[in-house]
A = this chain, B = another copy of it.
Amino acid sequence: MEEAKILLVDDEQDILDILSFNLIKNKFSVATACNGEQAIEKAKEFKPDLIVLDIMMPKKNGIETCKEIRKIPELKDTAVIFLTAMVDEDSEIHGLDVGADDYIPKPIKPKLFISKVNATLRRLTNREARIVFEDLEINRVKFTVSHKGAEINLPRKEFELFALLASEPGRVFLRQEILDKVWGTEVIVGDRTIDVHVRKIRKKLDADFIKTVKGVGYKFEH
């Protein structure tokens, strides 16, 4: 799984620094912006999984920014968390109703911050459902494989076989193991069946991600 990308937006450099530090320490990929307008620009290019947005900012406040972000199709699946110094109940409500996923009260406690970030990303789901390489994505939710931009539809067995191999790149799967995991232990099919499926996958992807390990099994290599 690739690292989650997070965009931090706050007008106080101190806050950006401390949050960046904590996020990076936790293996997140971070970008920052210091006002709402910049946030929208950066969000479009950086395509973060999560945006942490201060509510009170010059140029464009967090609420407005969030509203705009929600209108951008490519950012539809991006989560938004507000940072707020206001203890005012109404502003919390306002934030949630505007399409935010959570909010974090200032002063920020780093542990809580990281925990909320994790919880929000987890909820966002499907991070585990995707296997991503540079030019190849296997999406278990969409049941699709895209290679160099082209979306390829593999039939069920082929997809399962490919997804299995790709789930642990480099590892060799024994034939028996493949049979067990893709076909199940009850069904009995001949060994040639695997070959045929491998062949079909290779042909459809037009690239040899699947390597034969003679006498042993197959492995995925990128």
Contacts and interface: CB of A to CB of B under 8 A. Distances in A.
Interface of A: 89-90, 92-93, 96-97, 100-102, 109, 111-112, 115-116, 118-119, 123, 139, 141-144, 153, 155-156, 170-172, 213-216, 219
A111 B95 CA distance: 13
Give the interface centre of A111, A112, A119 by most chain B CB atoms within 10 Å: A119
Nearest to A96: B119
Copies in the complex: 2
A171 B139 CA distance: 9
A214 B118 contact: no
A59 B100 CA distance: 35
A141 B119 contact: no
B118 A156 contact: no
B118 A97 contact: yes
